[in-house]
């Protein structure tokens, strides 16, 4: 039972390069989220999805794109990486919306450095 799996765990990029972070879940959850964690700022929402084929912008979406072609996968793309995108990225899932007692489940994170 893997839960929420993020790949890769670490990556170093040069400015201007592109890459895709993968989040995979085996819990059949409807909602998926991408957050970034920066020192002194907690976690901030980048993009989210409320179901297969849907995506929406969060608090800090600039410079990122996402896709949810399959229910179990949520991809986060950086088309042209910038040093300001150096961060730890977390994926989270939620069984479904509107249920007050349901917590989000987090992956172990992807540490991304942009030089």
Partner 1 sequence: GDSVTQMEGPVTLSEEAFLTINCTYTATGYPSLFWYVQYPGEGLQLLLKATKADDKGSNKGFEATYRKETTSFHLEKGSVQVSDSAVYFCALSDEGNTDKLIFGTGTRLQVFP
Site string for partner 1, 36-75 (x = CB under 8 A): ----xxxxxx--x-x-----x-x-----------------
Give 52's contacts (C-beta < 8 A, 6+ positions apart): 68, 69, 70, 71
Nearest to 76 by CA among 49, 100, 51, 97: 49
Q: Does 5 bind partner 1 (CB under 8 A)?
A: no
Question: Please, which of residues 23-42 interact with partner 1 by CB under 8 A?
Answer: 31, 33, 35, 40-42
14 binds partner 1 (CB under 8 A): no
Nearer to partner 1, 34 or 81 (CB): 34
Binds partner 1 (CB under 8 A): choice among 55, 64, 68, 107? 107
For the chain, the C-alpha Rg in angstroms (whole number) is: 13
The first and second tokens of residue 83, run together, are: 């040093």
Q: Give CA–CA dist 98/115, Å, rounded.
A: 41
In this structure, the strands spanning 65-67 and 10-13 are unpaired
97 binds partner 1 (CB under 8 A): yes
Q: Which residues bind partner 1 (CB under 8 A)?
A: 4, 31, 33, 35, 40-45, 48, 50, 56, 58, 90, 92, 94, 97-98, 100-109
């Amino acid at each position: 039972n893997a839960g929420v799996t993020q790949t890769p765990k670490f990556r170093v990029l040069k400015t201007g390069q592109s890459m895709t972070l993968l989040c995979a879940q085996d819990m059949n959850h409807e909602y998926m989220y991408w957050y970034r964690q920066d020192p002194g700022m907690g976690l901030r929402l980048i993009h989210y999805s409320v179901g297969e084929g849907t995506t929406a912008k969060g608090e800090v979406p600039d410079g990122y794109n996402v896709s949810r072609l399959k229910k179990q996968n949520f991809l986060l793309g950086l088309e042209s990486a910038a040093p300001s995108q150096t961060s730890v990225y977390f994926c989270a899932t939620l069984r479904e919306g509107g249920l007050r007692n349901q917590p989000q489940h987090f992956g172990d994170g992807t540490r991304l450095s942009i030089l």
